[in-house]
Structure 1
Amino acid sequence: MLDRLSFPQPWLSAILFTTWQFLNNGLSGASVVMGLLLAWLIPQITAGFWPERPVFARPWRVPAYLARLVKDIIVASFSVARLILSPRQPRPVFVCYPLQLEHPLAITILASTISLTPGTVSADVSEDRKTLLVHTLDAGSEQEVIDAIHERYEKPLMEMFQ
């Protein structure tokens, strides 16, 4: 009985509750009650659509990963702007990145991270989830791109998930 009253996706519930409070532009008794009801009800209704919960082996590494991502987005934004404004032609390349990650959520986070960083886009994941196709706007070599993705993003994700 208590299992049905629990929050099956606590992070989603927290996000839903917080979003509801921002949409209501303040705290009131009614908005808190409605926010809690929605934060409980929506995950209950959508529970069948969610895959198994991701198991973070080291969740305390998530803030450092997010900080690195924000820094890389800012640095890459300036690099892309400099490249576009310079007379030098970019050297675009498609790279087949060999994945070491196995968890579907970790692969999704890696692909999203690559796409969020200006100048790179993850274009496809192979059906066997062993290769990620990445397009870069400007790269010296394929190995340089592979090494950078592995060291900056995949290795920390592997530490978080395994």
Structure 2
Amino acid sequence: MTRWLPSPLLSLALLLLWLMLNQTLEPAHLLLGAALAIAAPLLTAPLRPFKARIRRPGAVLRLFCWSFLEIIRSCFNVSRIILFSKADNLNSQFIKIPLSLQDPTGLAVLSCLINCTPGTVWVEILQDTHELSLHVFDLHDENWWIDTIKHRYESPLMTIFEQEVP
């Protein structure tokens, strides 16, 4: 089964996306969508060097909720700063956050979550210390950012993608 469908959920999502984009359930579109849903994961399988395994699906919902709330909160804060604050009061800085997360997929998801949040940019992971270099648009409390990244993002990602959480 995995030989022809290496990613069954991805195939299902592609088929549903194809049908929604075409807004039809005609047999020709079902057949073409199924062919694309089977072919795309097969052709892109060599591009995925390792397979991610979600160990705790319930933690995904908690992570999604925290991320969504943080993105909404940051949208309002950044908009307020841009529209109503003076540039003199802006405290834009780089901070370093020590990371315990080692899983490449978890790090990629963390990067996506941070970069989706207005006012923050993932700069790099420092190889020698395994610290995240993060740019914050208006920094007031560095400890708050470290606590937020470590507890709201990194801890659930470690629960989802790694065996044990320290």
TM-score relative to the length of structure 2: 0.87
Secondary structure, counterpart of 1:134 in structure 2: strand
Deviation, 1:85, is 2.5
Secondary structure, counterpart of 1:124 in structure 2: strand
**Structure 1 match to 2:3:** 4
**Structure 2 match to 1:117:** 117
Deviation, 1:95, is 1.1
Secondary structure, counterpart of 1:148 in structure 2: helix
Structure 2 vs 1, CA of residues 39 and 142 (structure 1 numbering), >3 Å: closer, same or farther?
same
After superposition, what is the alpha-carbon deviation per residue over 1:66-112, rounded to whole angstroms, capped at 9, x for unaligned? 12211211111011111223335221110122111010010011111
Size of the aligned set, in residue pairs, is: 160
**Structure 1 match to 2:22:** 24
Structure 2 vs 1, CA of residues 140 and 71 (structure 1 numbering), >3 Å: closer, same or farther?
same
Equivalent position amino acid for 2:3 in 1: R
Distance in 1, matches of 2:128 and 2:32, equals 43
Distance in 2, matches of 1:87 and 1:8, equals 51
Distance in 1, matches of 2:84 and 2:2, equals 60
Structure-to-structure mapping, 1:53-72, within 5 angstroms = 53-72=51-70
Secondary structure, counterpart of 2:51 in structure 1: coil
Q: Which moved more, 1:101-110 or 1:59-68?
A: 59-68
Secondary structure, counterpart of 2:3 in structure 1: helix
Structure 1, unpaired ranges of 5+: none
Deviation, 1:52, is 1.5
Deviation, 1:135, is 0.3
Give the counterpart of 1:82 among 53, 60, 80: 80
Give the % identical residues. 34
Distance in 1, matches of 2:60 and 2:128, equals 26
**Structure 2 match to 1:13:** 11
Structure 2 vs 1, CA of residues 3 and 86 (structure 1 numbering), >3 Å: closer, same or farther?
closer
Structure 2, unpaired ranges of 5+: none
Deviation, 1:3, is 4.5
Give the counterpart of 1:40 among 38, 41, 46: 38
- Cα root mean square deviation, aligned: 1.8
Structure 2 vs 1, CA of residues 14 and 129 (structure 1 numbering), >3 Å: closer, same or farther?
farther
Q: Which moved more, 1:98-107 or 1:120-129?
A: 120-129
TM-score relative to the length of structure 1: 0.89
